Amino acid sequence: MPATDQPPPVTVVPAPVPLPRPVDAALRALTTSANHGLLWFGIAAIGTAIGGRPRRAALRGAGSLALASFVSNSLVKPLVGRRRPDPERTSLARRIGRKPWTSSFPSGHAASAAAFATGAVLELPWAAPAVVPLAAAVAYSRVHVGVHYRSDVVAGAAVGVAVAFAGRGLWPVKPHGAADMAPGTAPALPAGEGLTIVVNQASGTSDGAEEALSKLLPKATIVTWDPATESLTELIGSDVRALGVAGGDGTVASVAGLAHQKGLPLAVFPFGTLNHFAGALGVSGPDQMAGAVEAGSAAEVDIATINGDVFLNTASIGGYPELVRRRDRLGNRIGKWPAAAYALYRTLRHHSPMTLTIDGRTVSVWVVFIGNGAYRPRGLAPAWRDHLASGLLDVQYLRADRRLARTKAVVLSLLGLIERSDVLTTLDAPSVRIISGSGPLPAAHDGEITDAVEEFELAVGRSRLTVYC
């Protein structure tokens, strides 16, 4: 038989599946870790555990993320309804598997990442080199794995940034560093020579203060003071060039009154449970104050009084001290605004309204707060002052003569909107007189409780106190 030409059999070899590059695997893992905000909530948990500024950054970042996620996923996505990119346009090595079914525009991952990073950086600027590149990587990963267009990511990031900045209106960012003060002069005291430092013997938080201060300022005179049995005036010698104090705000106010009376500059060494005044001066530790004393760095601040007693930070009438204790106890765990709302609810349940005449105006109120200078934010969670020498008292009171006053106060406190309501009334004045129509009432100033009286005279002194800072 004649031979016929037959083509050789063709063997079909399937194309090899490309192995994922390390960058593909990393971006797939990163984009998956950010599902439902888990990556960011994990970072927030770390910041919350650290406390202080990192905690504030974590809470602001998480709150911004939650709101941005709602805006992008529940408001914008249903309105736009954009189809996701075709999966075939993305290499198999980059894909994350099942394509999301929701609208492509805007990217919820990008919105959450940008909101968290922006919120955190507003509170903690030095965190920017860590969280901003991470947020950018999460946003880009959505394009890399093929589930979003670039415009989706850009729009999502814009939503996140806008929400975080808008959040500053509800919860203002705490300023960094010291509050503004008036210019002042004080002598430079090398090694603390001429400085007498008062240590409150009754304050357990001042344990170890004498030893630490002796090392920082070896030529300073350190005296211990028992407020229950000793006169502070008798402890201070005649050759003193400046007074110092180691303790909390109550102790600081007592020594500040004596320093003001004697015309001496004051050095505040933060050793107490609450060091709000030292924080307002920009002093974070005893070593920083020691440096200011040796350099002679000083300024002037207002000193306020309530019925003749000095206070540097705040005074209050009624149930406010109890409200503050509850708020501060819960604030680190659930956030300041929710803690303020819960503390207000509990306080209002156990307290009756007071009838007060405030500068000639009779009103029914729940609590009264008086700050030595304007506190921010206004409302039930005041945290800082922008200026320590404004010459004004910040009087804020929660009214009980408004319809549904208690309910509105709690709800608006939770939302951070109480400052803009008719429930809270504010007054700025150099002095104020408050008369109780509900019988004698206790007051508190810088953490110290006073005896109950019916009249309160509050004023900012005409002369200021010189402080090292």
Q: Which residues of 16-27 are buried (b: 16+ CB within 10 A; e: fewer)?
A: eeeebeeebeeb
Handedness of CA 197, 200, 206, 209 (dihedral sign): positive
Distance between CA atoms of 117 and 120, rounded to whole angstroms?
A: 5
Rg, Å, the chain Cα set: 30
What does residue 245 show for φ and ψ, rounded to 5 degrees?
A: -145, 135
CATH of the domain at 37: 1.20.144.10
Q: Which residues of 93-116 are buried (b: 16+ CB within 10 A; e: fewer)?
A: ebbbeeeeeebbbbbbbbbbbbbb
CB 34 within 8 A of CB 40: yes
Q: Are residues 281 and 366 in the same domain?
A: no
Which of 127, 104, 105, 113 is CA-nearest to residue 163? Answer: 113
User: How many domains, in total, are found in the chain?
Assistant: 3
Q: Are residues 163 and 37 in the same domain?
A: yes
CB 445 within 8 A of CB 157: no
Q: Which residue has the tokens 């929660």?
A: 398
Query: Is residue 13 domain-resident?
Result: no
Indicate left, alpha or beta for 48 from its phi (over 0: left) and psi (-120 to 50: alpha): alpha
Bridge partners of 457, per DSSP, are: 433
What three-state secondary structure class fits 147?
coil
265, 276, 292, 464 from 183: Cα distances, Å: 13, 21, 15, 11
What three-state secondary structure class fits 27?
helix
275 secondary structure, DSSP code? -
Q: Are residues 384 and 456 in the same domain?
A: yes
Distance between CA atoms of 326 and 318, rounded to whole angstroms?
A: 15
Q: Are residues 321 and 206 in the same domain?
A: no
28, 34, 77 from 86: Cα distances, Å: 18, 22, 18
165 burial (CB, 10 Å; 0-12 / 13-18 / 19+) is: middle
- DSSP states of 195-234: EEEEEETT-GGGTTHHHHHHHH-TTSEEEEE-TTT--HHH
Q: Are residues 266 and 140 in the same domain?
A: no
Q: Which among 139, 170, 201 is the end of a domain?
A: 170
Q: Are residues 31 and 149 in the same domain?
A: yes
Distance between CA atoms of 91 and 23, rounded to whole angstroms?
A: 13
Query: Is residue 175 domain-resident?
Result: no
Query: Is residue 12 domain-resident?
Result: no
Query: Is residue 204 domain-resident?
Result: yes
Q: Which among 170, 200, 222 is the end of a domain?
A: 170
Per the structure, the complete domain to which residue 376 belongs is given by 314-461
CATH of the domain at 257: 3.40.50.10330
Q: Are residues 162 and 285 in the same domain?
A: no
Strands 298-301 and 304-306: unpaired
**pLDDT per residue as tens, the chain (469 positions):** 455 556 666 555 555 555 567 777 888 888 888 888 899 999 999 988 887 778 888 888 998 999 998 998 888 888 887 888 877 776 776 777 777 778 888 988 999 999 999 999 998 888 899 999 999 999 988 888 888 889 999 999 999 999 998 887 767 777 777 788 999 999 999 999 999 999 877 665 556 788 889 899 999 998 888 777 777 777 787 788 999 998 778 888 889 999 999 999 999 998 766 678 888 888 878 889 999 999 999 999 999 999 988 999 989 887 666 666 666 666 666 666 567 667 767 776 767 788 999 988 999 988 888 999 988 877 766 678 889 999 999 998 888 887 777 777 767 766 667 777 788 888 899 999 999 998 998 888 887 777 888 999 999 988 999 999 8
Q: Are residues 247 and 123 in the same domain?
A: no
What three-state secondary structure class fits 391?
coil
Q: Which among 274, 301, 328 is the end of a domain?
A: 301
Q: Are residues 322 and 429 in the same domain?
A: yes
What three-state secondary structure class fits 456?
strand
CB 305 within 8 A of CB 465: no
Please count the other Cβ atoms lying within 10 Å of the Cβ belonging to residue 213: 23
Query: Is residue 16 domain-resident?
Result: no
Distance between CA atoms of 469 and 290, rounded to whole angstroms?
A: 10
Q: What is the pLDDT of residue 324?
A: 66
Q: Are residues 325 and 385 in the same domain?
A: yes
Query: Is residue 8 domain-resident?
Result: no
CATH of the domain at 358: 2.60.200.40
Query: Is residue 3 domain-resident?
Result: no
Q: What is the pLDDT of residue 297?
A: 92
11 secondary structure, DSSP code? P
Q: Are residues 158 and 48 in the same domain?
A: yes
Predicted TM-score (pTM) above 0.75:
no
Distance between CA atoms of 322 and 342, rounded to whole angstroms?
A: 12
What three-state secondary structure class fits 446?
coil
Query: Is residue 82 domain-resident?
Result: yes
Q: Are residues 137 and 256 in the same domain?
A: no
